[in-house]
């Protein structure tokens, strides 16, 4: 069982052997935060308190599991909003003590990475090149084995999802920005505006999206524009940089067997399409994966359970009550 409360989703999942999803319950706070155009941490935390136990009960009910079926309890330890994280980690601490289950703290981004193991039956092949694109993070990793991640590149300013959210706000498209932009972009001309693409120095696998966002802001201030065209051109600029840097990384590490896309922005259909096209052309032998369900792209607890399973198997080899992590070691700030 895993709990995820790092931002504005109260989520509990039950996953068998890190892959088979028995329950994946998500109480989204989107409607609540749409009123303020973004997440207010105190409001999010209060909502987590209200939703935590009903979501937990629903997960047990949906999976038809009882507490004896649960081998261990995992929770997101960070990064995220501290007041939101505390609700999930404290719930996990209590379950661990009262029900005598091993406690597994999971780093949120490693959770996103393991979303590509959910509902996958065949063996995933290492080494893997991973592009994580979310509201709070944007990195390129080389993963040589379970829980062995090398950072190849990261954002120097905004994450891709953050850029989607900020541009959506500029265009008056509401929150969250990613789905709103990708929807209206379908009606726009992606070649209408040639927005800047930050390639940075030659060969760099880092990202930067703040210049692109400023460029949209400047255009909107002075010109008469069509929102769909701006959205489509902006999306195309983000997709071009993300997919091209992924291909550049592959050229630097041609031993890679699989390429994975993870995080909220992995729900973006245009991004999936362009990566599929580019790798189909330049590296057809490489397997491209994105999360099998849209609900595994944005924050969810199934991915936390998957990461917890592989972390625990690597570190301890199996689940047993003697492996319970003492509460003091569950420090969400580390």
Residue 127 interacts with ligand KG4 (CB under 6 A): yes or no: no
Report d(CA 97, CA 211) in Å as an integer: 49
Among 18, 78, 88, 179, binds ligand KG4 (CB under 6 A): 179
Distance from CA of residue 78 to its chain's centroid?
A: 13
DSSP state of 41: H
Distance of closest approach, residue 242 Cβ to Zn ion, in angstroms: 16
175 binds, among ligand KG4, Zn ion, none (CB under 5 to 8 A by kind): none
Distance of closest approach, residue 285 Cβ to ligand KG4, in angstroms: 28
Pairing of strands 128-133, 258-262: parallel
Beta strand residue intervals within the chain, DSSP E: 2-4, 9-16, 20-28, 73-78, 103-107, 128-133, 138-145, 148-154, 258-262, 287-289
CA neighbor of 289 nearest in space, from 162, 166, 112, 155: 112
Stretch that binds ligand KG4, among 19-27, 40-48, 57-65, 131-139 (CB under 6 A): 131-139
Report the run of H or E that residue 54 belongs to, with start and end: helix 41-63
CA neighbor of 281 nearest in space, from 239, 242, 251, 241: 251
Residue 299 interacts with Zn ion (CB under 5 A): yes or no: yes
Q: Count of CB atoms within 10 A of residue 255's CB?
A: 10
Distance of closest approach, residue 134 Cβ to ligand KG4, in angstroms: 3
Q: How many residues bind Zn ion (CB under 5 A)?
A: 2
Inter-residue contact 24 to 58 (CB < 8 Å): no
Inter-residue contact 236 to 271 (CB < 8 Å): no
Residues 92-151 that bind Zn ion (CB under 5 A): 134
Distance of closest approach, residue 67 Cβ to ligand KG4, in angstroms: 29
Distance of closest approach, residue 322 Cβ to ligand KG4, in angstroms: 33
Residue 165 interacts with ligand KG4 (CB under 6 A): yes or no: yes
Q: Which is nearer to ligand KG4, 165 or 206 (CB)?
A: 165
Query: Per-residue x/- marks for ligand KG4, 45-84, CB under 6 A?
Result: ----------------------------------------
Q: Which is nearer to ligand KG4, 34 or 321 (CB)?
A: 34
Q: Which is nearer to ligand KG4, 237 or 256 (CB)?
A: 237
Residue 233 interacts with ligand KG4 (CB under 6 A): yes or no: no
CA neighbor of 111 nearest in space, from 150, 72, 137, 84: 137
Among 182, 208, 233, 295, binds ligand KG4 (CB under 6 A): 182
Residue 63 interacts with Zn ion (CB under 5 A): yes or no: no
Stretch that binds ligand KG4, among 56-64, 95-103, 159-167, 323-331 (CB under 6 A): 159-167
Q: Count of CB atoms within 10 A of residue 254's CB?
A: 8
For residue 255, is the peptide bond before it cis, meaning its omega torsion is within 30 degrees of 0?
no
Binding site for ligand KG4 (CB under 6 A): 7, 134-136, 161, 164-165, 176-179, 182, 263-265, 267-268, 298-299
């Amino acid at each position: 069982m895993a709990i995820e409360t790092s931002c504005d989703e109260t989520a509990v999942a039950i996953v068998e052997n890190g892959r088979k999803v028995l329950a994946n319950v998500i109480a989204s706070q989107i409607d609540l935060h749409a009123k303020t155009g973004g997440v207010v941490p105190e409001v999010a935390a209060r909502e987590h308190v209200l939703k935590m136990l009903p979501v937990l009960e629903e997960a047990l009910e949906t999976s038809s599991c009882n507490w004896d079926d649960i081998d261990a309890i995992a929770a997101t330890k960070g990064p995220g909003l501290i007041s939101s994280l505390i609700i999930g980690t404290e719930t996990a601490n209590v379950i661990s003590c009262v029900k005598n289950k091993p406690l597994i703290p999971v780093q949120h981004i490693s959770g996103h990475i393991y979303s590509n193991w959910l509902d996958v039956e065949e063996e995933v092949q290492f080494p893997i090149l991973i592009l994580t694109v979310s509201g709070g993070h944007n990195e390129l990793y080389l993963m040589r084995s379970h829980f062995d991640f090398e950072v190849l590149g990261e954002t120097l300013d905004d994450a891709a999802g953050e850029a989607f959210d900020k541009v959506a706000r500029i265009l008056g498209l509401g929150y969250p920005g990613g789905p709103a932009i990708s929807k209206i972009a379908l009606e726009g001309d992606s070649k209408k505006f040639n927005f800047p693409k930050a390639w940075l120095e030659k060969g760099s696998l880092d990202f930067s999206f703040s210049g692109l966002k400023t460029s949209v802001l400047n255009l909107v201030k002075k010109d008469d524009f069509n929102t769909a065209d701006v959205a489509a051109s902006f999306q195309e600029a983000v997709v071009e940089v993300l997919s091209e840097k992924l291909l550049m990384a592959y050229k630097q590490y041609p031993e890679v067997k699989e390429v994975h896309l993870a995080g909220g922005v992995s729900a973006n259909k245009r991004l999936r399409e362009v990566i599929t096209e580019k790798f189909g052309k330049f590296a057809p032998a490489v397997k491209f994966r994105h999360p099998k369900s849209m609900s595994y792209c944005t924050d969810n607890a199934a991915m936390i359970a998957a990461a917890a399973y592989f972390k625990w198997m690597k570190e301890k080899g199996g689940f047993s009550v003697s492996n319970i992590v003492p509460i003091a070691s569950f420090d969400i700030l580390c």
